[in-house]
């Protein structure tokens, strides 16, 4: 949510910052801006719309200079327009600031600043912070670093900021609290960004700032870190594992399509070194030290948002079925505000692709305060959530750039499956022949996903028929109910068609009223324990002239005879069906969105990483 990039060194800053903003555009894309210090002058360029608009606009201006900051915005305070776009200048024009997060007490601060003569151009909380810093520097005659430090002691809320000064092109200051920031260390140059993606092509050495830390980056004295309470810290330099190719489209038209097609590999990567067929075992290295606690947990509470929450519901079915531990799945945003009961022996599992979602982070802090053990399932290595948890498993899906989550979901479900198997085996809740069968099947999932991807042409054909629908219903039962929820979410996120996911049997308690001959109903009707029941639900839809697109097990004849279209998927164990049934849903949403002319990688109003409440 909002992307920040900054550069200081010997190269031209503008092209580096601009390229970085393009890499971070998935975080927000309603407006963008760059400020460059050109010979002790701050040149500021801001534009509503995508980064490409800013690039075009900048062609007419001088953008030279070796220190610069940039921002791509997802609006919180004030409409997305040129004025509200970042960077924001101080009243005296000496400083420029970019900010990701929300300054919660900005209204009071703004009132006070106005009463002392400050004038504001934008509606943003960011400009208020900029003026506060300026006032402290002017009144107390202190350095930029000290001005930032004191100002940050007066603000509440979340921030990642970078600030440059007109009078000093050898220094920039960055700080964070509850919003991520990474410093890249090159040779005589430094980079700052919301995540490592804009940095990786220049250097692999990075420092992740911690909450409450301020980095003073100087070409003379290097990187120095102190806390907002003025305690010096030693920077901890880490090496990035990220590969540049993973951030490119690799010949696909969209990142989303590339990521859908990557799933055979991403699921395999997620299982690598964890699933061992030879000795019939599952090992999750990242939770080893907490294994006993997890295996003996009285209750598991899963907290997550969005698609990760859907993976959590699949996890609930898996963990209850295979490990026989009661599971509760909570939206992180609800969990944190409802005084949750956490007992000794409870383990909280938090799931997050980005590892930066503000609500999930806050839920973890609350659960930690109340003494729970926290297990994290994250995709982004080194992310805030992965650092806050007691133990965890990375999903290893590789960078996910498309805003609609695809490969991260299947990787999350894969980790949850491995976890359920691991606990079930240790607890003896899965008979060994079933354990072996599931393990064997899980190992063949990448191949089966590959097979489903071959139906892309057929799915494209079906998409063309339903692309003009205004509503859609997704139905599934048992472990496939969350697959229906995820299918509906994918469609609405990227095609803006209103879609709802329901447990198939619940349809008759409301959504059935919506069905007419225009309405596509996507049903997961694979051969599993609830197959016959789902067939009855399909009959109910057909009796009301709804159009049924069913995902069925290869060779199915019963559903084929009544549905309008069927998409076949290979047979697998009941508990693994979500891993393959999800794929056609993703492809359907993708093709429908493309046919409707939507921007699938950057759908309107959404952001990939939601770092505000
Ligand atoms: C945003 C994204 C979703 C994602 C959700 C949770 O809403 O658009 O795709 O599922 O955040 O994100 P997380 O990174 O915590 O999984």
Output the CA 187–ligand 1 centroid distance in Å.
35
d(CA 188, CA 495): 46
Residue 28, pLDDT above cutoff 80:
no
Residue with tokens 């899980």: 442
Per-residue pLDDT tens digits for 486-511: 999 999 999 999 999 999 888 888 88
* Residue 58 domain flag: yes
Same domain, 205 and 297: no
pLDDT of residue 450: 97
Contacts of 562 (CB under 8 A, 6+ apart): 535, 538, 539, 542, 548
Per-residue pLDDT tens digits for 348-384: 999 999 999 999 999 999 999 999 999 999 998 888 8
Work out the average pLDDT over 411-433: 97
Q: Which atom of ligand 1 is nearest to the CA of 308?
A: 16
Work out the average pLDDT over 3-16: 97
Task: From 178, 361, 609, 611, give the residue whose CB has the most ligand 1 atoms within 8 Å, as the site to mutate.
Answer: 609
pLDDT of residue 538: 94
C-alpha to C-alpha distances, 72 to 34, 50, 340, nearest whole angstrom: 9, 8, 36
Per-residue pLDDT tens digits for 182-234: 999 999 999 999 989 999 999 999 999 999 999 999 999 999 999 999 999 99
Residue from 150, 136, 46 nearest 91 by CA? 136
Check if the beta carbon of residue 9 is closer than 8 Å to that of residue 197: no
DSSP secondary structure string for all residues of 25-69: GGG--SEEEEEEE-SS-EEEEEEES-HHHHHHHHTTS----SEEE
Quickly count: other Cβ atoms within 10 Å of residue 170's Cβ. 14
Residue from 480, 558, 471, 459 nearest 523 by CA? 480
Domain finish residue from 216, 246, 276: 246
Same domain, 229 and 264: no
Output the CA 31–ligand 1 centroid distance in Å.
21
Work out the average pLDDT over 440-446: 97
Same domain, 551 and 590: yes
Q: Which atom of ligand 1 is nearest to the CA of 403?
A: 8
Q: Mark whether 608 is an active-site residue.
A: yes
Same domain, 212 and 255: no
Residue from 439, 85, 160 nearest 283 by CA? 439
Q: Which atom of ligand 1 is nearest to the CA of 380?
A: 14
Same domain, 77 and 211: yes
DSSP letter assigned to residue 329: E
Same domain, 164 and 34: yes
d(CA 604, CA 75): 12
DSSP secondary structure string for all residues of 142-209: --HHHHHHHHHTT--EEEEEEEEESS-TTEEEEEEEBS--EEEE-SS-EEEESSSTTTTTT-SEEEEP
Same domain, 347 and 394: yes
Task: From 350, 606, 610, give the residue whose CB has the most ligand 1 atoms within 8 Å, as the site to mutate.
Answer: 610
Token pair listed for 399: 């960078």
Same domain, 44 and 122: yes
What is the domain range of residue 419?
251-452
Output the CA 481–ligand 1 centroid distance in Å.
19
Domain finish residue from 420, 436, 452: 452
Q: Mark whether 547 is an active-site residue.
A: no
| Ligand 1 first shell, C-beta below 6 A | 305-308, 352-354, 357, 360, 403, 405, 606, 608-610
Per-residue pLDDT tens digits for 311-349: 999 999 999 999 999 999 999 999 988 888 988 889 999
Same domain, 100 and 81: yes
* Residue 363 domain flag: yes
Residue from 411, 428, 441, 399 nearest 307 by CA? 411
Residue 230 exposure: Cα atoms within 13 Å on the Cβ side: 5
Domain finish residue from 246, 270, 292: 246
Same domain, 478 and 585: yes
pLDDT of residue 323: 97
Kindly report the CA angle at 173 between 97 and 116, in degrees rounded to 5?
50
Q: Where are the alpha helices (DSSP H) in 296-431?
A: 306-318, 332-335, 358-369, 384-388, 407-427
* Residue 612 domain flag: no
Check if the beta carbon of residue 84 is closer than 8 Å to that of residue 34: no
Residue from 102, 155, 39 nearest 147 by CA? 155
The total of structural domains in the chain comes to: 3
Average pLDDT in the chain: 94
d(CA 589, CA 494): 7
pLDDT of residue 322: 97
Check if the beta carbon of residue 262 is closer than 8 Å to that of residue 446: no
pLDDT-based confidence at residue 557 (cuts at 50, 70, 90): very high
Work out the average pLDDT over 115-138: 96
CATH number at residue 508: 3.40.50.10490
* Residue 18 domain flag: yes
Same domain, 407 and 475: no
CATH number at residue 191: 3.60.20.10
pLDDT of residue 242: 78
Kindly report the CA angle at 284 between 282 and 289, in degrees rounded to 5?
125
d(CA 379, CA 285): 15
Same domain, 425 and 533: no
Give the phi and the psi of residue 273 in degrees, each rounded to 5: 75, -5
Give the phi and the psi of residue 519 in degrees, each rounded to 5: -90, 115
d(CA 483, CA 386): 26
pLDDT-based confidence at residue 512 (cuts at 50, 70, 90): confident
Residue from 331, 327, 323 nearest 347 by CA? 327
Residue from 602, 348, 564, 317 nearest 465 by CA? 564
Residue 172 φ/ψ region, left for φ over 0, alpha for ψ in the -120 to 50 degree band, beta for the rest: beta
Residue 556 host element (H or E): none
């Amino acid at each position: 949510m909002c992307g920040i990039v900054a550069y200081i060194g010997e190269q031209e800053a503008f092209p580096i910052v601009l390229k970085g903003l393009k890499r971070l555009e998935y975080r927000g894309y309603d407006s963008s801006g760059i400020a460059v210090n050109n010979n002790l002058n701050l040149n500021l360029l801001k534009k509503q719309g995508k980064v490409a608009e800013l690039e075009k606009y900048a062609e007419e201006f001088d953008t030279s200079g070796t220190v610069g900051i940039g921002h791509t915005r997802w609006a919180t305070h004030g409409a997305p327009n040129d004025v509200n776009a970042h960077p924001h200048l101080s009243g005296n024009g000496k400083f420029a600031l970019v900010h990701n997060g929300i300054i919660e007490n900005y209204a009071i601060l703004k009132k006070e600043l106005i009463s002392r003569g400050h004038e504001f151009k934008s509606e943003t909380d960011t400009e208020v912070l900029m003026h506060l810093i300026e006032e402290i520097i002017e009144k107390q005659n202190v350095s930029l670093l000290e001005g930032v430090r004191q100002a940050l002691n007066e603000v509440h809320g979340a921030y990642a900021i970078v600030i440059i000064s007109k009078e000093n092109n050898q220094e920039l200051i960055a700080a964070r609290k509850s919003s991520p920031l990474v410093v890249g260390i090159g040779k005589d140059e430094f980079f700052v960004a919301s995540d490592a993606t804009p940095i990786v092509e220049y250097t692999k050495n990075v420092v992740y700032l911690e909450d409450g830390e301020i980095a003073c980056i100087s070409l003379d004295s290097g990187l120095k870190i102190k806390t907002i309470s003025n305690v010096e810290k030693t920077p901890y330099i880490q090496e990035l594992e990220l590969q540049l190719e993973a951030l490119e489209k690799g010949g696909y038209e969209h990142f989303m399509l590339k990521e859908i097609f990557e799933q055979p590999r991403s699921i395999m990567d997620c299982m690598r070194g964890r699933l061992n067929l030879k000795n019939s075992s599952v090992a999750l290295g990242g939770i080893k030290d907490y294994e006993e606690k997890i295996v003996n947990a009285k209750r598991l509470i899963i907290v997550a948002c969005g698609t990760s929450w859907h993976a959590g519901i699949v996890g609930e079915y898996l963990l209850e079925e295979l490990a026989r531990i009661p599971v509760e799945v909570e939206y992180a945003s609800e969990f944190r505000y409802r005084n949750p009961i956490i007992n000794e022996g409870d383990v909280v599992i938090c799931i997050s692709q980005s590892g930066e979602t503000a609500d999930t982070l806050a839920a973890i802090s609350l659960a930690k305060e109340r003494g729970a053990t926290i297990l994290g399932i994250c995709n982004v290595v080194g992310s805030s959530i992965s650092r806050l948890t007691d133990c965890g498993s990375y999903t290893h899906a590789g960078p996910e750039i498309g805003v609609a989550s695809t490969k991260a979901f299947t990787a999350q479900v894969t980790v949850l499956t491995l976890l359920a198997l691991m606990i079930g085996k240790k607890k003896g809740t899965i008979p060994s022949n079933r354990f072996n069968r599931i393990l064997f099947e899980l190992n063949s999932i990448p191949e089966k996903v590959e097979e489903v991807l071959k139906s892309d042409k057929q799915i494209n054909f079906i998409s063309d028929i339903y692309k003009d629908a205004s509503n859609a219903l997704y139905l599934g039962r048992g472990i496939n109910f969350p697959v229906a929820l995820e299918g509906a979410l994918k469609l609405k996120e990227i095609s803006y068609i209103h879609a709802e996911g329901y447990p198939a049997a619940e349809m008759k308690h409301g959504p059935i009223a919506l069905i007419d001959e225009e309405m596509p109903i996507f049903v997961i009707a694979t051969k599993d324990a609830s197959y016959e029941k789902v067939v009855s639900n399909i009959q109910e839809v057909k009796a009301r002239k709804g159009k049924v697109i069913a995902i069925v097990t290869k060779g199915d004849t019963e559903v084929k005879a009544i549905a309008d279209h069927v998409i076949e998927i290979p047979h697998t164990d009941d508990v693994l069906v979500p891993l393959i049934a999800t794929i056609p849903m993703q492809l359907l949403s993708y093709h429908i969105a493309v046919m409707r002319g939507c921007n699938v990688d950057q759908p309107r109003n959404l952001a990939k990483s939601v770092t505000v409440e």
